[in-house]
Amino acid sequence: MSIRNKSVQRLHKGILHQAVTNSEGVAIYFPFGKSNLTYGQLHSQAHKISLALQDLSLPKGSLVVLYLDKSPEAIAAVVGVLMAELAYLPLDVDAPDSRNQFIIEQSQAQAVLAREETEPPFFTQTLPFNKFDGLALYRSSAKAPGLKLPEGLAYVLYTSGSTGVPKGVMVTHTAALAFVDWARATFALKPEDTLTSIAPLHFDLSIFDIFAGLSAGCSLLLLTPSESKNPLLVSSYIAEYGVTTIYATPTLLQLMPRFGKAGRYDHSQLRQVLFAGEVFPIPALRALQEIWHTAKFYNLYGPTETNVCTWHPLPPKGTDDRKTPYPIGQPCPYDRCAILKEDGDISSELKGSGELLVSGASVMTGYLGMPEQTRQAMAEHEGRVWYKTGDLVAVDSNGDLLYRGRRGRMIKRRGYRIELGEIEAALHQYKAITQAACLAKEKEQSVSAIWVFYVAPEGPLPHTLLTEFLSERIPEYMLPDRFVHLPEIPQTSSQKIDYQALKQML
């Protein structure tokens, strides 16, 4: 039996249904703006945006750039764009102007929605068209787009390419709904639930918050980037708004036990914690399970190109003594996984180890305007097209997938292959260390040194002590050459470790 409700053919239709059946229910709590938005009000705002976009007479499926901070207006804009039968492309408002200008030009977007007072210098190919409710709508002054967009396109999210050039991941309504419908059912979302909306709109974790949450009639607790990074504030919000579901990266979640002071607040309504985007170090995870003992925990995995494609429910706290990170689990029912072996063979039986491949309903259509990069990212096997994730996995004795790191983070040193994530995992076992990131410094195409950046709230740790600790857990050839204590590890706008920023410190 299909998971999808056949009556739901567009990503936003579930939200529109709630506007009719649950119009007085709170759709959005926005503490930063000291305002709430009901489903009826959300629909009203989205409808105005939709009408303004329709006045542009753009071809169906055209791209609309959203240059908006995290706010109720931004959520209304997302819904309004989809109501107008267009596709949205959210920008990171904190990214450099040069990057955003590249995205606008490369995407050949036909319109831009921004705040009325915002006129960034990179709006060089846009003309003011309309202003309403504090928003400004710009129309592209560039020539008609030559890019071919897939039918049923819902949104485009730009990721950082390995070459430094951002790549636009194209996702259709059908692909997004494969995940959204499954998530809404699997995590039993209902109008009584309140979800934290932590992820920025340009990060794919936001798809769960907006579409799975709002289509189920839940209330979203909308947090700005600065609020999300304040664990004490988040802790107070969880209690004040009766949060039941949290979805975030481990980088943010692992701050809660140490700085959230959960003992001050009532978190008893929290029933599930979903995490994705990175490996969750076991010591930090155990500490979080200790303070949120009423909640079930789930490890979700998937790059932007597939959204969530595997998942693993964690066993109840205290029922196992696992010392290594939990598996990323089994494929979601709408996708299939395979393993690309080192010798080039593809195993669809999920055994052995190699690069993870994903095929199925949630996989992207391709990279916008980059047919060659799309071709390189795909493989054909047994009559199916597979996305090559670049992530290394192994299958354990239970048949679950274990994440082994990024192919790009595998280095060779003294003839040995080293996965830098393995060094990070070992460091996370040191109780005084709350965060760690490992990088290799290269010289003339060879590794000259392995550096470790770490956070220890009590202060720097002796290098000899760290080396001695690691020597009991990893081979000698993997031992780092340098240890650098930092007050905090830099984060990307997607709330992950910013390895590019750390490279500048090498």
Please report, for residues 70, 294, 299, 398, the alpha-carbon distance to residue 260 in angstroms, rounded to integers and kept in the order given.
22, 17, 21, 35
d(CA 150, CA 371): 13
CB 293 within 8 A of CB 266: no
pLDDT at 164: 57
| Closest to 47 in 3D by CA, of 19, 87, 8 | 19
CB 321 within 8 A of CB 334: no
CB 415 within 8 A of CB 231: no
**Residue 144: CB partners within 8 Å, gap ≥ 6?**
none
Q: What is the arrangement of strands in the sheet containing 135-140, beginning at the earlier edge strand?
A: 126-132, 135-140, 111-115, 63-67, 87-90, 153-159, 167-172, 366-367
d(CA 176, CA 362): 6
pLDDT digits (tens, 9 = 90+) for 61-70: 999 999 999 9
pLDDT digits (tens, 9 = 90+) for 80-134: 999 999 999 999 998 888 889 989 999 999 999 999 998 888 888 888 889 988 9
Q: Which of 116-120, 207-211, 251-255, 402-406 has the highest mean pLDDT?
A: 207-211
Q: Is the pLDDT higher at 99 or at 298?
A: 298
* 3-state DSSP assignment of residue 233: helix
Q: Where are the beta strands (DSSP E) in 320-467?
A: 330-331, 335-340, 346-347, 353-360, 366-367, 378-381, 384-395, 401-406, 410-413, 416-419, 435-443, 446-455
Q: Containing H/E element for 195?
A: strand 194-197
pLDDT digits (tens, 9 = 90+) for 165-181: 789 999 999 999 999 99
d(CA 216, CA 244): 14
What mean pLDDT value characterizes the chain?
A: 91
First to last CA, the chain: 53
| Closest to 440 in 3D by CA, of 416, 464, 472 | 416
